[in-house]
Amino acid sequence: MQVRIGVQFVPKELVVETAETAEEVQRALGDALAEERGVLVLKDQRGGRVVVPADRVGYLEITEEEGRTVGFGGSQYA
């Protein structure tokens, strides 16, 4: 799953590929926002972590991955 995070005062968004579900990501943000100085922590697929102060998150876009085709258009040569 891909998560895009818009951070206030940062011109580029953060893009994280994670194995967490959409519900887990939403819950993590909700829990972080509930704390006074909470931080959003997401684990990426390579074992790293992305840590963002929760009060600086402008938006969170969660995209479920679709099956990807490999090659130049796929089905023509199947």
pLDDT digits (tens, 9 = 90+) for 24-68: 999 999 999 999 999 999 999 999 999 999 999 999 999 986 655
Token pair 């998150």: residue: 57
Token pair 């891909």: residue: 2
Mean pLDDT, residues 5-32: 95
Distance of CA 8 to the CA centre of its chain: 16
Give counts: helices (H), strands (E), the chain: 1, 5
> How far, in Å, CA of 8 to CA of 16, rounded?
17
- Predicted pLDDT of residue 64: 83
- Predicted pLDDT of residue 72: 62
**Is a pLDDT exceeding 80 seen at residue 71?**
no
